[in-house]
Amino acid sequence: MYYKIKSSSSRYKKINDDELKKLGAKGILKVGEEEVQAIFGTHSEILKDEIKTLLNYKN
């Protein structure tokens, strides 16, 4: 089973598909002009939390 990490970003064009794949992404979907979905395995929830921490994400 695979899970996705979705993100909307004004930096959409700077997202590097090859780097996401090096991090373990099984696939990358770019939806519209600003949404990216990186498909990871079952550890995506952990990655999502780590990414939010690194980006100082606030709900």
Structurally, at CATH architecture level, domain 3-54 sits in 2-Layer Sandwich (3.30)
Of the pLDDT bands very low, low, confident and very high (cuts 50, 70, 90), residue 7 is: low
Structure-token pair, residue 46: 């952990």
Q: Is the whole-model pTM more than 0.85?
A: no
Q: Percent of the chain beyond pLDDT 70? A: 75
Distance between CA atoms of residues 1 and 59, nearest Å: 27
- Whether residue 28 is predicted with pLDDT greater than 60 in this model: the reply is yes
- From the list 5, 10, 11, the residue with the least C-alpha distance to 40 is 5
Task: Choose the weakest-confidence range: 3-12, 16-25, 39-48.
Answer: 3-12
